[in-house]
Amino acid sequence: MQSYMPSSIRNVALVGHNGAGKTTLAEALLANAGVIAHSGRVDDGTTVCDFEPEEIKRRMSVSLAMAPFEVNGVKVNLIDTPGYADFFGEVRSACAVAELVVVVVSAVEGIEAQTEAAWDLAESLGRARLILINKLDRERASFDRVLDQLRERFGAGIAPLELPVGQEGEFCGIADLLTDSAITYTGAESSTGPIPPDLADLEHRVREHLVEGIVVGDDSLMERYLDGETPSTAELESALGAGLAAGSVFPVVCASATKGIGTDRLATLLAEIGPSPAGRVVATLRAPGGAHEVTCDSTAQPLAQVFKTVSDPYVGRISLLKVLSGTIRPDTTLVNPRTHSEERLHVLELLRGKSVEPVPEASAGDIIAVAKLSDTITGDTLAPRGTPVVVEPLDPEPAVFSIAIRPKAKGDEDKLMTGLHRLQEEDPALVIRRVDETHQTLLSGTGETHLAVTCERLQRKFGVEVGTEEVLVPYRETITAEAEAEGRYKKQTGGHGQFGVVDLRVAPLARGEGFVFVDAVVGGAIPKQYIPAVEKGVVEAMSQGGPAGYPVIDVQVTCYDGKYHPVDSSEMSFKMAGAIAFRDAVARAAPVILEPISRMEVTVPSSMQGDVLGDLNARRGRVQGTDPLGATHQRITALVPTAETLRYAVDLRALTAGRGRFTAEHDHYEPLPSNLAARVGRNQAASG
């Protein structure tokens, strides 16, 4: 494919709820452009965008996919995104590099959870939005019902550019309000003609409102319109494009992606009214004279940002990057400011699904793929040496669901960690951590399906089959009273023996104070050189656990007496004696189990607040407060036992039909209720 100037590039993200028909729409657009012979179907694995085994198996997208095509001399970098909540991070990555977001809505189901989430994301990023109502050929499809939903949920600016010709199974075309004509479809053929008589009155009224809404943003057009002059189609499109780019107008169009109805007109609209990247601010440079903005200019210095990484076990790392400014050619050398390492971009490629095609160059605004960048990951910037670039990547989706994983084959531990870190480069929403106290490796992500796909990719790409197990809660123990105990360690093995006696007193500390060791020995009962060994023995005993087997915290230990032998005493004997004394003293000091408490922020629609509050109370949560977020949502802050949050990502999604979101982080420890402490203690004993 040839290179394109910024003004001839459209970066478009397809977003919407799972099942709205985004991938089918992408296929239809590629077929219209002649890139593929016909559009494939998701369920038989023949689509361009859903090509990974995990996608074919589930019949849904799990990763963003590029589907570029050309229309009327304009290159459209179409980015198909998943519609399932677990993979919303892919939507964020796509919207970050797109100038236009096409929100695909099913005419049957209407606005759903991920439709709202994608819209809110695009709005927060300041992206232009166009809405496509798909599946108008299906039973129970209703353009009017969905249009009313759009106006109710997204407010002013919703502007239908098309009306459907026919309903449900009779849907056969679109009435184009801009051209004041109808496009009807018979199989693969389409024809343009006058508006059908039964639609003429409605089309005239809606078109009048549309024209009034468009010209109000252009003083010259408005003046002419008030004088009775009707603007031309080209003038309307130009003014509409300006309103779209400014975020004041949200055009609505019709389609049936499976039948190809309206998809050719959509492609034309993307080229005609879609915003280009030309002239847009893309970065901030720090310079001795102060910061200055960088715009999308093909004649400036080259600057690019990686927005997606694909780990291939054979090719290696494939980086998808957007050229922010300048022009990049094969063998261009740029520097990663994060690592200060040079990266040579050997071959520039156009990525379409899983197929690649070399390109001679890529100018500002374009999206390309580059293989084998050695030290660059998702979110990194590539710039000329000595250029202090700041291009902030979007924060990844918070990891809210965890599983404990282990390799099924012995000796695969290193392969497991290598594979996990490679997948983490590909998907920043993944979090990997080792919990030493529970001896578990935790893999965290955005939901069950997200982690299931990750485990499947581990096996397919890196040959590591993993098993999963229940995530163990890191309980602690502490004491609630003072107690004393003597620890005596005596061992005779021929020659020098081992002898040490330690008297300890334990007392509780305030929560969070950890551990305090006090040396109160007088009269040389324990020589000074052995006191550190006593403390070391206590510390080790604390980590090994109290009566229930959990690490002990928030304890003051005072060593106040002891005995030693001038020949048989040693650091080892006093270390062992200190540990024995500590364990006995803790057992006498009314020990209790502490459970971790998480601070949670839950964002839900206001209408669902009562259900969520009731559920948090059932989880032994304590609500700290609620705050309104705009007119439609509430943010609930609560302290909830961590043991009650392990499956909250799954449960909240079910409780709110996918509209609830939350974050959780460790806050503090509290005593576990006695009725639960017995069960936790028994479980620990059984697992030990």
d(CA 266, CA 274): 10
**pLDDT at position 676:** 86
| pLDDT score, position 679 | 74
User: What fold characterizes domain 6-273?
Assistant: Rossmann fold (3.40.50)
Give the C-alpha distances (Å, rounded to integers) separating 48 from 55, 59, 66, 205.
12, 13, 9, 40
Q: Residue 42: its pLDDT value, please? A: 46
Contacts of 547 by beta carbon, 8 Å cutoff, 6+ apart: 477, 586, 587, 591, 681
The CATH number of the domain covering residues in 281-390? 2.40.30.10
Count of residues in the chain: 688
Where in the chain are all domains bearing CATH 3.30.70.870?
401-469
- CATH 2.40.30.10 segments of the chain: 281-390
pLDDT at 681: 62
Residues of the chain with CATH 3.30.70.240: 594-687
Q: Cite the residue boundaries of each domain of the chain with CATH code 3.40.50.300.
A: 6-273
pLDDT at 682: 47
Identify the pLDDT of residue 665. Answer: 93
Q: Which CATH superfamily is domain 401-469 in?
A: Elongation Factor G (Translational Gtpase), domain 3 (3.30.70.870)
pLDDT for the residue 494: 64
Q: Give counts: helices (H), strands (E), the chain.
A: 16, 38
Q: Classify domain 594-687 at the CATH topology level.
A: Alpha-Beta Plaits (3.30.70)
Distance CA 208, CA 226 (A): 13
- Kindly give, in sequence order, each residue whose CB lies less than 8 Å from that of residue 685, ignoring residues fewer than 6 positions away: 548, 549
Q: What is the pLDDT of residue 518?
A: 96
As a whole number of angstroms, the distance between CA 589 and CA 584 comes to: 9
Contact 322, 367 (CB under 8 A): yes
**pLDDT (tens digit per residue) in 165-206:** 999 999 999 999 999 999 999 987 889 999 999 999 999 999
Give 118-163 pLDDT, tens digit per residue. 999 999 999 999 999 999 999 999 999 999 999 999 988 899 999 9
**476-589 CATH choice from 3.30.230.10, 3.40.50.280, 3.40.50.300, 3.40.50.720:** 3.30.230.10
Residue range(s) in the chain whose domain bears CATH number 3.30.230.10 = 476-589
The residue ranges of the chain whose pLDDT is under 50 are 40, 42-43, 682-683, 685-688
> What pLDDT does 569 receive?
84
Integer Cα distance of 628 and 617 in angstroms: 20
